[in-house]
Structures are given as C-alpha cells and as structure tokens.
Amino acid sequence: MKDNYIVGVIGAGNMGEALIKGLLRSNLVRSYEILASARTQRRIRFLEKTYGVHTTRKNLSVVAACDTIILAVKPQDMENVCGEIRDKATKDHLIISIAAGIDFSKLRQMLGAKPRLIRVMPNLPAVIDAGVSAIYCGPRMPERYRRFAHQIFQAVGQTVDIREEKLMDVVTGLSGTGPAYFFAMMEALCSAGRKMGLTDGMSRMLTLQTALGAAEMAASNGASPEELRRRVTSKKGTTWAAMRHMKKRNFWRTMEEAVAVATKRARQLRTLKK
C-alpha cells in the first residue's frame, strides 16, 4: 500500500460521492484513507469539507498514491482520463470502472496490459445506500480482489456477480437504467391522480407509499412479482380492469423493449466520442 490511501476515486461526481459516503459510513475505510480527484476547486472544497477526504485535481496523483482506484467519470470522459493515467498504471493497481458500456477490451486498449481490471454497474439508489451493483471480474481475478470489490459496493447496497461480460450491458439496461422506469411510472400515477381530482400532494403521497409498499412486499415475499400481481387481481375487479387495459396497450412489451433499447445504447457508448 502507498501513502496509506486505500481507495482512490477519479471523478468524484454523483456516483463517486455516493461511494465515498457509503465507504465512510460502512467503516470499511476512514476518511484519511480516501484520495479523490475532481476537476474544479469548488468540488474539491466540497468533498474535503463534507467528507474530510484527501483530494487532488491531478488524476496522476491518485494513481501514484493508491493501489485501488475507482474510475467514476462519464463514459465519454474515459478515453481522456485513461490516456492520462495509462503510463503510470502498473500490475499492482486494481482499477474498477463503473462506466456504462465500456467493456474489458476497450478498458485494456485504453489502460494497457498491466493493471488488474474489474467492471461494476451500480445504480442511482446507491446515493441512499439502497443500490444494487453488478460486478464482473473476468476469468483470472484473484479471489481477494473480487471480494474487495464486493465490500466496496456493499457499502452502498447489494451486489451480484456477473459471469459473462456481455450481460453487463443487460444489467445496465435493467438495474442501471431501472430507477428511471419506476420514476416514470410514479410520475404517470401522480399525474393520473391529479387529473382525476386529487391534490398534487395527495396524489404524490398515495403513489410513493404504494410504490414503497409494493417494493417491500415483493422483496420480503417468496412469491414472484407475477404471482403477487395475480393474487391482487380478482376477476372483474378494479385491478383486473386496469391490467386488461395495460395488456391491451402492450405495457409488458413496452417495458421489455425499453430494457432492450437501453442495453443497445450501453453497447453504443463504447464508441462514443466526446
């Protein structure tokens, strides 16, 4: 280990910050063991003041001081950042990329043959420690690095192992993009309530509590979502009428297509230029 830093975060934006917050709360590392880089002095000051972590505007300083580095910049900034750190990345580095769509072969091309690489696809609820992160390590990753990656991302929610790299794009289309599917659905329900006479506040409260209740039921119950839906759908009742309409309007197919389109977009991000 170098200079006592355990984890470096390059590009401490929304996700980078969520990870810093989670790592500190989980006590996996202490604030003085994190070195984060950001582009602006304003961001640097914010990170120092809020989390007490060490900061730098030089990405190379992170590479020089840390063995484990989380790359948390946008996919379109990856080329620049990787080009900047490539020459200093050694076989002792573990580089964890959370960039959507950027696969191992692209990472290798950008970072060279030396560092160990892990890909992770987290999602937005990581900011409240309720995220889910899919972790892909590739075939020859020593177990202790895989375990360390899980520990890092368990600080902001749950983790799963992905064995086939091509499935990382599917994860991106499902859980990486997924919070927005539920936000869109909540948005539509709020709007329906308002249009039919409920106040904005009432509509929102009813929608959010229903979403929370349904998610908690689905998570705590052994039954599948399909089974839960069947149980609340009595023939000729209100749910039955609503489900029949949703089926007629291809709700299920629309959702499946949305995941497929997001998955395809993740693949396209590999070749995205800034």
Select the span of 47-55, 93-101, 137-145, 186-194 touching ligand NAP (CB under 6 A): 93-101
Verify binding: residue 80, ligand NAP, rule CB under 6 A. yes
Residue 267 corresponds to which tokens in the numbers above?
């693949």
Which of 8, 11, 22, 115 lies at the binding interface for ligand NAP (CB under 6 A)?
A: 11
20 is a contact residue toward ligand NAP (CB under 6 A): no
69 binds ligand NAP (CB under 6 A): no
CB of 259 to ligand NAP, least distance (A): 15
- Furthest CA-CA distance within the chain: 68
Per-residue DSSP letters for 6-29?
-EEEES-SHHHHHHHHHHHHTTSS
Q: In which residue are the tokens 């869109």 written?
A: 184
Round to whole Å and give the CA distance between 70 and 63.
Answer: 10
Residue 176 DSSP symbol: I
Closer of 10 and 193 to ligand NAP (Cβ):
10
171 lies in the binding site for ligand NAP (CB under 6 A): no
The count of chain residues that interact with ligand NAP, using the rule CB under 6 A, is: 26
Toward ligand NAP, which CB reaches closer, 115 or 131? 131
Q: Single out the residue of 1, 4, 14, 217 in contact with ligand NAP (rule: CB under 6 A).
A: 14
107 lines the binding site for ligand NAP (CB under 6 A): no
Q: Is 15 in the site for ligand NAP (CB under 6 A)?
A: yes
36 makes contact with ligand NAP (CB under 6 A)? no
Residue 75 interacts with ligand NAP (CB under 6 A): yes or no: yes
Q: What is the SS3 assignment for 184-219?
A: HHHHHHHHHHHHCCCCHHHHHHHHHHHHHHHHHHHH
C-beta separation of 44 from 173 below 8 A: no
Applying the rule CB under 6 A, the residues between 225 and 264 that interact with ligand NAP are none
The DSSP bridge pattern shows strands 34-37 and 94-97 to be: unpaired
